Amino acid sequence: EVQLVESGGGLVQPGGSLRLSCAASGFTFSSYSMNWVRQAPGKGLEWVSYISSSSSTIYYADSVKGRFTISRDNAKNSLYLQMNSLRDEDTAVYYCARERHLNFDYWGQGTLVTVSS
């Protein structure tokens, strides 16, 4: 069974940093591209970042470019999102999602990031 479990969310002050993790199991992690998608409270889904299976290709949404860094460790079956210079508008539930043919076929349960003073 495919499982994606996010962790690392919490309350952080504006300008602060946070590192999210996503532990994958039930599939060959190193064979799949992965993404982070977020959802602000009461709002819709917003794609955040993409990383290819070998980490050779990385994309970011304009809203986080230069502040967030996506990475992965295929030996540990883990995906990460380093978030720096956090802003109020980064408050959201962050989901990791497995990608297959340009869609997201499995999602984690999400981790809440709250940016507030």
E-assigned strand segments in the chain: 3-7, 10-12, 18-25, 34-39, 45-51, 58-60, 68-73, 78-83, 92-100, 103-107, 111-115
Beta bridge partners of 84: none
**Site for other proteins contains 1 (CB under 8 A):** no
Query: Does the CA dihedral 36-40-41-42 come out positive or negative?
Result: negative
**Is residue 101 close enough to count as binding other proteins by CB under 8 A?**
yes
Binding segment for other proteins (CB under 8 A), chosen from 8-16, 72-80, 83-91, 103-111, is 103-111
User: Which one of 11-19, 22-30, 67-75, 99-107 is the stretch in contact with other proteins (CB under 8 A)?
Assistant: 99-107
Residues numbered 14 to 73 that lie near other proteins (CB under 8 A) are: 35, 37, 44-47, 50, 59, 61-62
Which spans of this chain sit near other proteins (rule: CB under 8 A)? 35, 37, 44-47, 50, 59, 61-62, 95, 100-110
